[in-house]
């Protein structure tokens, strides 16, 4: 390789120590959605991808089980059945026009990845192999169907590597280990429009302004508001938090998915692929308890249902272990050859982290916080909305940070890897079309002023509160009060805790005063986003007096379509540090788009 620096990465200018860059399209986040957008955008417009991680360390790489598409390579299938399963699995809060797009474009999305070089598992005939996953059925719910395309149990890893290799092939400009902390908004002809973003370079502590005609957010989820989570340490919701702080709404934040099978005590994910290959959930008595709850598809019921069933078994005294606080995932009846070929990673996790041999022993598991169904509201073009239906021209979002809404109140397994590819591609293509005729929005004289002030304030903090202690208290309270089961009492308790932590956050201590790779500073800023997002989750959950999908209110255990067949829209209206959440969060609703499937009772 040449030692000559890539001029496309060099700033256009530097003023008062702030580096300025200019690109047609600026993508924030280099996971699956960000890189899929970049593959469409990069060859057609000047594109910059900004990531606080090296791209192949993005959390897409942790996804294991597969990517749904009605290829019908193994069993009869079609996209309409996939649409129905997505709508039903999301407990009818799914926008059905978006679900139809997801299911229709799934087939091309898989073929795109195959053509890029992704090494899918194959049938003996050489076709892409498919396996069963929870909630995926044939003939509108009659039988389970094999719909998940997969690469062993490391499908997300393969997708991430494949997308990155293709981004390199296209010469995409990556700014790795740059932490975006602000979205610059301007106004053109009375309309809000993005002008660019401001990023903090981790290696140097310097600030960079990226001016762009279009900005795409693809920053992932915020599972670190919980203690027991499958999410990586970096999933702190920065992109969602930035949009929230700019006064744009967030949608359906109360709906968080708790994956049924996290390693007990750790939360590390054991993929649904295991149950797709025949793994069985058992309680302390050895009973296959899902037969009682979902007699048709048993262990492959949607995740919200399985997670509640596991918690119910534990509550009723059928949990296993010394404290009777987990159940078992049993694959001992599968042959070692099948386990090694199709489930190599998750079995190694069990050996490494719990000292359990999956060939001969059942694995202790417990539900773990896994996926945010809510986030930045978008339409099917991936355009960010500033109210129920008005887009912000030039601003896009895709992946877990976005809410389109194809997942409703509960995402089906394998639809996340599909979502990032379908709507990441749409975001990239629509951004390209937009920048063909758009101009750069003027930026203010000192666009980095807010970020400079934030960084200097946090770095200079000399209070008495430790970041790790505050983060742990937040996560413990969210686990205890806002997880699989919720009530008014528990949600009030965590609300009070968040307000207490907000006050204590004003008195934090940051010990590292340096500029180079200051993780102490980074985690302090991330905690601010976690507090913001946890508050929106809890406030939205308090408001929704029904149970639907991942949101289960024990004091309101029934789904209430008459009053709550609507999306929740949350707006920041005042000071986020006020004493009561109601003082600065306003909630409204948005209708659910219904095309072909009227709400009905979910039976499995």
Residues in binding site for FAD: 29-34, 51-66, 238, 400, 416-417
Q: What is the distance between the terminal CA atoms of the chain, rounded to a whole angstrom?
A: 56
Residue in 36, 282, 303, 548 annotated catalytic: 303
The yes-or-no answer on residue 516 being catalytic is no
| DSSP 3-state percent helix, strand, coil across the chain (nearest 5) | 35, 25, 40
What sign results for the dihedral spanned by CA atoms 434, 439, 444, 445? Answer: positive
Task: Please enumerate in sequence order all residues whose Cβ is within 8 A of that of 492, keeping only pairs 6 or more positions apart, or say none.
Answer: 542
Dihedral, CA of residue 384, residue 387, residue 392 and residue 396, to nearest 10? 0
What sign results for the dihedral spanned by CA atoms 351, 356, 362, 366? Answer: negative
Task: Please enumerate in sequence order all residues whose Cβ is within 8 A of that of 303, keeping only pairs 6 or more positions apart, or say none.
Answer: 134, 135, 257, 258, 259, 260, 272, 370, 410, 411, 412, 413, 550
The annotation places the binding site for substrate at 259, 271, 370, 411
3-class DSSP state for residue 126?
coil
State which H helix or E strand residue 102 sits in. Answer: helix 96-116
Neighbours of 227 (CB within 10 A): 19
Structure tokens at 429: 């293509």
Q: What are the C-alpha distances in Å from 197 to residues 12, 45, 402? A: 15, 18, 18
| Rounded distance between C-alpha atoms, residue 379 and residue 392, angstroms | 11
| Rounded distance between C-alpha atoms, residue 188 and residue 441, angstroms | 7
| Rounded distance between C-alpha atoms, residue 151 and residue 135, angstroms | 20
Query: Quick one: angle between helices 155-169 and 415-435, nearest 10?
Result: 20
As a whole number of Å, the CA-based R_g of the chain is 23
- Confirm if 100 and 595 have CB atoms less than 8 A apart: yes
- Confirm if 25 and 48 have CB atoms less than 8 A apart: yes
Structure tokens at 8: 């496309």
Catalytic residue ranges: 303
């Amino acid at each position: 390789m040449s030692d000559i620096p890539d001029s496309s990465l060099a700033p256009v200018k530097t003023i008062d120590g702030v580096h300025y860059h200019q690109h047609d399209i600026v993508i924030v986040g280099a996971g699956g959605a960000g890189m899929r957008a970049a593959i469409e955008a990069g060859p057609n417009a000047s594109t910059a991808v900004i990531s606080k991680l090296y791209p192949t360390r993005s959390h897409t790489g942790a996804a294991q089980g597969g990517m749904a598409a009605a290829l019908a390579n193994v069993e009869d299938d079609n996209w309409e059945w996939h649409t129905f399963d997505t709508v039903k699995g999301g407990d009818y809060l799914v926008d059905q026009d978006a679900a139809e797009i997801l299911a229709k474009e799934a087939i091309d999305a898989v073929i795109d990845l195959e053509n890029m070089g992704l090494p899918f598992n194959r049938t003996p005939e050489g076709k892409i192999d498919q396996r069963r996953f929870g909630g995926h059925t044939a003939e509108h719910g009659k039988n389970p169907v094999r719909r998940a395309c997969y690469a062993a149990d490391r499908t997300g890893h393969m997708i991430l590597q494949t997308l990155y290799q293709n981004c390199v092939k296209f010469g995409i400009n990556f700014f790795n280990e740059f932490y975006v902390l602000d979205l610059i908004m301007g106004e053109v002809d009375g309309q809000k429009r993005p002008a660019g973003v401001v990023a903090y370079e981790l290696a140097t502590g310097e600030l960079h302004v990226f001016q762009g005609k279009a900005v795409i957010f693809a920053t992932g989820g915020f599972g670190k508001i919980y203690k027991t989570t499958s999410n990586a340490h970096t999933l702190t919701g920065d992109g969602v938090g930035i949009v929230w702080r700019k006064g744009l709404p967030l949608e359906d934040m109360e709906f968080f998915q708790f994956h049924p099978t996290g390693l007990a005590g750790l939360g590390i994910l054991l993929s649904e692929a295991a149950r797709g290959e025949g793994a069985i959930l058992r309680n302390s008595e050895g009973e296959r308890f899902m037969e009682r709850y979902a007699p048709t598809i048993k262990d492959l019921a949607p995740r919200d249902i399985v997670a509640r069933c596991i918690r119910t078994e534990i509550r009723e005294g059928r949990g296993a272990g010394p404290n009777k606080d987990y159940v078992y995932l049993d694959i001992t009846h599968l042959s070692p050859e099948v386990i090694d070929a199709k489930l190599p990673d998750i079995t190694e996790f069990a050996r490494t982290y719990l000292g359990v041999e999956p060939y001969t022993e059942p694995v202790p598991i417990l539900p773990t916080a896994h996926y945010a169904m809510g986030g930045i509201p978008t339409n099917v073009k991936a355009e960010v909305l500033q109210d129920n239906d008005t887009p912000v021209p030039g601003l896009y979002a895709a992946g877990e940070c976005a809410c389109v809404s194809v997942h409703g109140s509960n995402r089906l397994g394998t639809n996340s890897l599909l979502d990032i590819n379908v709507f990441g591609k749409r975001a990239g293509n629509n951004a390209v079309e937009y920048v063909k005729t758009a101009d750069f929005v003027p930026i203010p004289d000192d666009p980095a002023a807010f970020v400079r002030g934030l960084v200097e304030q946090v770095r200079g903090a000399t209070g008495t509160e430790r970041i790790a202690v505050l983060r742990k208290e937040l996560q413990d309270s969210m686990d205890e009060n806002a997880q699989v089961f919720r009530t008014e009492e528990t949600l009030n308790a965590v609300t009070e805790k968040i307000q207490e932590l907000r006050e204590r956050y004003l008195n934090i201590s940051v010990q590292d005063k340096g500029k180079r790779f200051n993780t102490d500073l980074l985690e302090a800023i991330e905690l601010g986003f976690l507090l913001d997002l946890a508050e929106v989750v809890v406030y939205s959950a308090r408001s929704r007096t029904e149970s639907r999908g991942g949101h289960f209110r024990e004091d309101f255990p029934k789904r209430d379509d008459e009053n709550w067949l609507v999306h929740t829209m949350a707006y920041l209206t005042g000071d986020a540090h006020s004493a009561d959440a109601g003082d600065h969060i306003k909630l409204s609703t948005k209708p659910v788009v219904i095309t072909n499937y009227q709400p009905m009772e979910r039976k499995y």
